[in-house]
Amino acid sequence: MNDFLKTTWLYGLAFLLPLGLSLVLTPVLRALALRFGHLDKPTDIKTHKVPTPLLGGTAIFIAFTLSLLAMRFYTSFPTGTLRDLRVILLGGGVMFLLGFIDDMYKPHGLGVKTKFAVQFAVAAFTALYGIRINFIQPDYLGFGLSVLWIVGVSNAFNIIDIMDGLSAGQAALAAFGFLLIAFPSESIYVNFASASLAGAAAGFLPYNFSKKFKIFMGDSGSLLCGFVLAVVALGTRYSDVNPLGVYAPLFILAVPIYDTIFVSVLRLRRGHSPFIGSKDHFALRLEKIGFSRRQVVRLASLATLALALFAWLMTQVPLAWGILIAGVLGVEFILIGIAIAKIKI
């Protein structure tokens, strides 16, 4: 087996192992959630109608963590890769626990200040450890933007988790996008973490869509997915061909980032806090004009898949073509955003 096939097999295994674990663990944890009453109950700002088990994030976390640990013993990681994976597992573990505790205290949850304090501490630790933006100078500015990026993306996947399959589907597709750009490369931790998260999130999705066996991943799952994707976005090279390649992560993560900015701006314009939930989301606006929830999730998934392919293309083409791609996509986003904002909720 040549090196390329061996590498492909390893990343395939890194996807299939958490996929299988997640498929097995999710119904088990659903049963435990029902047994101990760990349910997400409907409120005025939520869109589900009945109390729903809330341990899907735990299945994703266990599947993701166990698969990376298993791959550690199945293959030989370079020292730097082990170091980076430890940071992802440690930081992701803290984010998972933060979300899990917040889920335990629903519907009110932990306070905004408490959650942000922990998130900023985890993000600062990650950046200090070396996983950060390196192309922006001076260093303190790159450090600060790295912290804001990690906290922002982590919360973006939490904010977009308002419809079955939306946040987890975005996480799985975005992870594949980062794997596409990083593979094959020396960014081994990006590849393994991306493949493992994609598998863990994909294994959860059938139950999230199910009517009979429905389960939510909760803040524990959305914060974990957002954190891992924010970190892997900082771990690979984008600008070997043209400098605009560094913006590829913005395209891969465009849907959750867009929704976060969209709802925050609309809430602030009404004089409301951007941290208090509401029904301003683009997905709910599309539902309002006649799209079914499955159609909304499919549209969002197709958008992320297309954007991931364009992001990869931006890292491969000359600068002039990169400018054209970025310009066209930017204009399209603005026009779509204006059209969606006009839909009344």
Report the C-alpha gap between 129 and 125 in whole angstroms. Answer: 6
d(CA 303, CA 295): 12
pLDDT digit string, tens, across residues 36-78 = 888 888 766 666 678 889 899 999 999 999 999 888 777 766 6
Where does the chain show beta strands of DSSP type E?
Answer: 39-40, 52-53
Q: Determine the Cα–Cα distance for residues 197 and 227; give it in Å rounded to an integer.
A: 11
Write down the residue that tokens 């509401």 correspond to.
278
Q: How far apart are CA 218 and CA 55, in angstroms?
A: 7
Interatomic CA distance for residues 71 and 68, integer angstroms: 5
The reported pLDDT for the residue numbered 107 is 64
What SS3 state is found at 58?
helix
Closest CA to 177 of 314, 12, 311: 311
Tokens of 204: 């959860």
pLDDT for the residue numbered 176: 94
Residue 144: the pLDDT is 95
Rounded distance between C-alpha atoms, residue 194 and residue 178, angstroms: 7
Give pLDDT, residue 332: 87
The pLDDT, as a whole number, for residue 80 is 61
Distances (CA, A) of 82 to 128, 179, 188, 192, 272: 16, 18, 10, 11, 44
Strands (E), 12-154: 39-40, 52-53
Domain count, the chain: 1
Ranges of residues in the chain with a pLDDT under 50 are none
Structural domain including 294 reads 3-341
Give me the pLDDT at residue 2, please.
65
Residue 39 in 3-state DSSP?
strand
> Rounded CA gap, 92 and 193, in Å?
11
pLDDT value of residue 44: 62
Interatomic CA distance for residues 14 and 192, integer angstroms: 6
